[in-house]
Amino acid sequence: MNINIIAVGKVRENYIKEGIEEFIKRLTPHAKVNIIEVADESAPESLSEGEREMVKIKEGERILKKIKENDYVVALDSKGKKLTSEEFAQRIKMIQLGGNSTIDFIIGGSNGLCGKVLKRANFVLSFSLMTFPHQLMRLILLEQVYRAFRIINNYPYHK
């Protein structure tokens, strides 16, 4: 299985980079993980709603260029469906059994994802009602993907 994490911006903090590298290494027996970064749109803190939407659209266009036609796309969005770790593992298993060899997980920038990206998604996932920094979300996502593979394969990590 191929797992692409398509994310807006770069990870700057070393502790996050180290955690990401650790979970990519742990996932090696289960999947090939690629981190695909797209440039974030520079914008001041105080944006009008219209300006914020334009930022999301520009970042969304960059994201959509990285998605292949047959990829299964999971967009991370606070308005998405919340799953337990077991439900998340089951969803990954069903994606595999459905013949999909690539899952693209999409992490937007600080303004979120545009409607076109959400529309392209096969599934919209929320990790919490809380807001997380988009850089940290990569690490949280990778840990949950690793946990999912442990659950799928009946390994004890999940307990």
Residue stretches of the annotated binding site for S-adenosyl-L-methionine: 76, 108, 127-132
Instruction: Give, in degrees to the nearest 5, the angle at Cα 98 between 75 and 35.
Output: 40
Query: Cβ of 108: how many Cβ atoms within 10 Å?
Result: 25
Q: Which amino acid is at 9?
A: G
Point out the annotated binding site. Answer: 76, 108, 127-132
How many angstroms separate the CA atoms of 151 and 146, rounded?
Answer: 9
Q: Which amino acid is at 136?
A: L
How many angstroms separate the CA atoms of 131 and 137, rounded?
Answer: 9
How many angstroms separate the CA atoms of 36 and 159, rounded?
Answer: 31
